[in-house]
Structure 1
């Protein structure tokens, strides 16, 4: 993956903000992916020049769960939530979501504090027995029940419509 200097990122962002073109046009002009332009602009708007500087971070599982919960609550894209939390790689959110969905994001009790961590993939054969996994299961069951309810109501409405259209009408 190619690394870009902060000065270069700033030039691209300033071009965008000055109205010299949209993300697509600037991406072509500077020979960079369009997604990079959008990401840099979002980070710059929310965090200023610091949002464009290199950043190395290790995120706790608690932080990851907080980010994913915010994304769900506000119905945000990975790029939007990454910009809000100053996470430089929006694809990292997708990885966290996949880990959560597959039960690899888990909570473990350690003494009095609850410590959250991601289990390695090779251990994923063991069934997760955590609060997060239980909550996921409950939510999935509720989701399935609601889908069935919606499908039932759609069938009922279709049946009522078909009976109304098939009923003979009196003509005077």
Structure 2
């Protein structure tokens, strides 16, 4: 007894292996409380930053970090990380507006309101933030262009086959 691996146990009980692995990690760190049902939680920006810092400092995976902080959906940490890297961390604290499939991306970017302050009077951090924003916009436009070209190629290939 006790010699079966996680994959064997998951297969025997028809449970997803990754789900079982997450349960085991939660139990090892938090005991029975790690397996009990929790209400949906809202996490403060401070908590999110603490989680991301610990994950980065200790080079933990998303799953390890989720188990350590008793976060049931490890994917949310990846979302926090992406928001943090994009500089839109405040947006991550807003609850999703609607469940289900996200809307299609629009082809037009909203206009960027350029500040009227001249560059010499702006701080280095403000300028770096603007550079980061502009780079993201350029990357977005490049990706959009690549997707449009791909869509056009696929349409042409379908047309040729017809």
TM-score (norm 1): 0.52
User: Does 1:53 pair with 2:53?
Assistant: no
Cα–Cα, structure 1 residues 120 and 32, in superposed 2: closer, same or farther, change >3 Å?
closer
Cα–Cα, structure 1 residues 119 and 26, in superposed 2: closer, same or farther, change >3 Å?
closer
Please tell me whether the aligned partners of residues 71 and 77 of structure 1 are also in contact (alpha carbons under 8 angstroms). Answer: yes
SS in 1 for 2:67: helix
Structure with bigger strand share is 1
Cα–Cα, structure 1 residues 21 and 67, in superposed 2: closer, same or farther, change >3 Å?
same
TM-score (norm 2): 0.55
State the superposition RMSD in angstroms. 3.2
Contiguous gaps of at least 5 residues in structure 1? 1-17, 108-115, 128-133, 142-172
Tell me which stretches of 4 or more aligned residues in structure 1 moved more than 6 Å.
119-122, 124-127
2:86 aligned residue (84, 89, 102): 102
Please tell me whether the aligned partners of residues 62 and 75 of structure 2 are also in contact (alpha carbons under 8 angstroms). Answer: yes
Looking at structure 1, the residues matched to 9 and 24 of structure 2 have their Cα atoms a distance apart, in angstroms, of 12
Cα distance, 1:106 vs structure 2? 3.4
Contiguous gaps of at least 5 residues in structure 2? 98-104, 114-124, 133-162
Cα distance, 1:89 vs structure 2? 1.1
Looking at structure 2, the residues matched to 120 and 52 of structure 1 have their Cα atoms a distance apart, in angstroms, of 25
Looking at structure 2, the residues matched to 62 and 44 of structure 1 have their Cα atoms a distance apart, in angstroms, of 25
Cα–Cα, structure 1 residues 29 and 120, in superposed 2: closer, same or farther, change >3 Å?
closer
